[in-house]
Structure 1
Amino acid sequence: MLTQKIKIYILVFTAAFYLTGFAQVDPDQDFKMALRLYDEGRFAEALNKFNLVLNFYKFNTKTTASKIFVAKIFILQNKVDEAVSVLEKFLKDHPKSKYIDEANLMLASVSLKKKQYFKSAESLFRIYEESAQPFYRNYAKFSLEKLCLNYLSSAEIKQLNDKLKKTNSKSYALLLTAKAYILEGDITLAGQAFDDLLAFYSQSEEVIEARRRKEELSSFKNEIITEKNIVAVLFPLTDPFQSDKQNPAEEILQGIKFSIDQFNKEHQDKIGLMIRDTKGNEEEILKIKNELDPNPDVKCIIGPVYSDEVRLALKIFKESNLPIISPTATDDDLVSLHRNFFQANPNFKLRGKGMAQFIFHIENKRRIIVLNAIEGYSPLLAASFIEEFEKLGGRIVAKETYQSKNISVSDIISNIAAQSSNAEGIYIPLVNKSDAPVILSSLYQNGILLPIYGDQDWFQVKGLENYTSLNNNLIFSSDYFIDFNEPLFAEFNKKFFERTGIEINRNVLYGYDLAEFVTTVLRNIVGGRFSVKFKMESGFIKSGYHNNIMFDEDRVNKFINVIRYNEGVFELIDKFKVIN
């Protein structure tokens, strides 16, 4: 008996010695170690450490955070079911935790990954209804609209609404229900839902949109709904100024035709294509309008190509309810001219704004110099950039202008040199590629080696390889980027050439990617032109070869390509989504 007691004592003593001598006895220290391993990407080791915090110690200040990180690691390891189990137990055990929003958001993300859309929406509504944090509430609201209108039916959204308790979330769910009715082609029920929202939730923030949508509905009240879908193309195919070379409109049209042809081969419900030559002529556009407008089978128009002709067409189609989408027009004021007009090519204001957001949020720069030409779109880009950068909290250290093609920059660069030590970069939106060598040479001679940011005219600049300081230090936005070496694109290029005998260029992709967006819209709605317009505004993202396409109620594509110059090669950094 004594021998047995001695053995037990030795065993206990040995265990105590092992734990005190070889393991941390402080949960904070173990948590810090786990966090370091996590940051280093050593997820299996980090998981062991987080589990040590959970299992070896009693409940402590790091318990709930450790559970969140365990769920994160399971997600990274693609152990989705394990992550769901951890998160659901977390929500049950710690309903008042400061990490509750993050847990709900992770559960929503995991459920979406598993295509459990209803469950994902439940998690997002919990955040929207219960969170005290504006960031989480706004993110949940934004995500709910995309999720509900792309993956749930009106009946499912009503079912979600029945589970909600607070006025703010119930009014928003009712707004989403009305929008779902529109996508389902039931204008009557949509109108009733808007009426209910205005009657029962008159103090909610959804009232303004409900009134506007209700008013829009009235203009589509007598719309004839047909099952047939036709896309009309309005392009200047007879172009006297392009007689000696390929007409860009023809190239864009080839991309559209290829996309529609692909769609019709793969789907039972076909989409028709009506191609009309505007001839750049007002009378011709009016004739086309009188043909298309009364035909309910025509659900939308792609075109025109150039901003001036778009302006003319919008005047002629002013009273029409046809959605009109230009693949290439860039003028800033076009969407204000017609409530149904969409710009697939980002306008200048959005491009300047997008670069400001990228530099501030991604590059983490706070002090920038701006140098722009006084001609063309350069001042538009500069003004938009400055407005957004300062709004975000950045500072414009200096602003200088020059005259394009007649450039004398010695005094200008001297002024920039005086401020360069206070700056973290220079934004130079070119209007002419020939200005760049003069600017670069003067910057180099003055020892100014700051990162340069700009617009897509930098694509065309010759001699960049002469400035080694530009490697990884020249970043600019563009409405297109084509990775010819990407395997999927190479295969697509091959098929396109075999079918058409034409090599793909950016014009072809302007047409192809937009047509892919339009066919996705038509495939996912039941109804007429209003449903088409509404679906396009719903915020769904269509990935494209030259750029992604996404619209919201502003009706301007929210994506720009951000490109880096590195060792003589242009590299895509990101297809960057610009935030309102």
Structure 2
Amino acid sequence: MLLQTESAGNARATYDVGLALINGYPGAESEAHALLITARAARRTGDRRAASRLLDLLVRDHSGSEWAAEGWYELADLHGEAGHWAEEADALAWFDHYTMADDMRRDPARRRLLTLLREQLTLDEIDRLLDEHPDSALSSTGSWLAASMVYESDTDPDGAGERLEAFLRDYPRSRYVEDARALLAELARDHGHQADPGLAVGRADRIGLLAPLTGDYAALGQSLFDGALLAVEEYNRAMGTSLRLVSRDTRGDEVIAVQAARELIAQEQVISIVGALLSPTTVAVATLCEERGVPLVSPTATKETITDLGPHVFQTNLTKSLETRLLARVAVLGMLRVRFGILHPDTDEGRSIAARFTDELQRHGGRVVATASFDREITDFAAPIIRLRQSAPEALFIPATPTDMRLIAPQLIFHDLRAELFGPSSWNNSLLLREAGASMEQAVVPSDVALIPEARRQRFEDLWRRRYPHTPSSSIGMKSFMATSRIIDALDPEGMDTRQRLRERLEVGLQEGDEDGGAASSQPLRVVRASELVALPVALLPGLTAPVEGDLESLDMLDEQEPDQPGR
């Protein structure tokens, strides 16, 4: 009868019938639904007090009912109409607790609750709401707003500090974490508040550097340090600032690298970190930086999945995936090679790179006529070389390290495998060229600084000659200079940075490219001539009509200008 009366649209009759049923059959199975229908009818008649009383009965006595969420939603709307903001917020929080995840009203209700927290509720009302709903979806936002309100009142700095520290401990992954740390830093500066060191904010005047400054990789680590220092010194000289580069020695060890990163983050409070040269140490450090919300920029690590560790991890160098695609495309489309052999290390990575190169070749009309692998422990490569020679490839792709290539290159000549060589950017190696360059004539490799704009490269070379007149520059130093410059470019000139804000600007900056340095190198490939690497003039290759330039990562130019596939 009640549902029929409601369907008829007569609010007064619905209210009267509903009230009679509720009073006549207390505790009936359908009482929760009857309370809801009757309350809605009371609202339509303008009797808000009766509606409020009925809804209170519904949510109090039938909290386990399927109609509880509807009751809280109606109550929130009722209190909102009356301007009872604290009561509306409480009802919305309960609605969020009881409603289903797929309820279309859930997101609008949360946005309304957020608006009330920000614009209408007092500090005491927010505190009561948090006490009543400690597990609410918006409890982290409420805690942040309460802490910031105490801070802004400027009457209780210690109380503000305690609230901010509690917020950071309770909600370490909140979007407001870095803002809270920034306020803690200001409290320390203005009021001497001593916060837990583990909760410290990153200092915008400190950039961290991790590098192997001692041990087997010390020379490379020193180049990484020198390049980063050059970028910091140039910025300080131009801006009259006192930005510091704070370095720690990793010794090339993952455990030591993580310990060093912890020092930079917690004790030195660096706002970002550059490093850590090698892929294994970079991966170890990246995991920690992502956990702590500290931007890490890797200028040299080549492992493909480092950035998958999270949004705080960035790579600015040419990855193995990108350089493999670049070589395959230029070899087929630009140099018109069709028949390829592949000689790769018998490792998971070696097989993966070979497969990627094969896929890219086939996509553009090339084909692999023979593949051979080698154990990293051997020194005699006769067997795989002879196997490849039998298929007479025009070109040979060898994703080998410089150490392996120093052994392989002379043996290719000895066993009369005369194919054009293509290899990774790691072949940009002076020792390799000195010892095996004569056996690698016309070998093509990606430039290991292909992603660095020409203007930045020239600027680096000029600065390096002035700063280190007796030390030749290096690609590692240039990459480190570029990565550190990227961080500096993303810093707030007013010094009001947080790690989260810096991360956001780094993300935008790396997507948009260099503002004053121009496009990436227009000469991304090099060729061995007389035991030296020289730029390969891609624009003059027969299969291409324009240089490979702009965004190397997309390689759009090569896709757009793909010629007819060569015959097989």
What TM-score does the superposition give when structure 2 sets the normalisation length?
0.50
What TM-score does the superposition give when structure 1 sets the normalisation length?
0.49
